[in-house]
Amino acid sequence: MTLLALLCLALGIGVNSSIFSLLDSVYLRRLPVGNADRVTVLSRGGSPLFSYPEYRALRDRNQSLAGLAISEPEEGNAVQIDS
């Protein structure tokens, strides 16, 4: 009986640690950019997606932002930064 309780406790701690590690790496860590508190997300009404030509036009005509980055919503680590 004690062995079963110990096994359940160890399994619960392991699962919780794994879930926290995943959430920490995806949602809780700061962005690897300078002044992360000043990062802004650009989007349009119903669709947050911009085509690459639209991104290039925004980048080339930008006069108020220090830099512009683009990423796909599914890929949080794929970021391209142009200054």
More confidently predicted of 44 and 3: 3
Its sign, for the CA torsion 8, 14, 17, 18, is negative
Check pLDDT > 60 for residue 35.
Answer: yes
Integer CA distances (angstroms), 8 to 12, 25, 79, in order: 6, 26, 41
Q: What is the pLDDT of residues 21-33, one digit of tens each?
A: 998 888 887 777 7
Q: What is the pTM of this model?
A: 0.43
Confidence tier at 78 by pLDDT (50, 70, 90): very low
Check pLDDT > 90 for residue 10.
Answer: yes
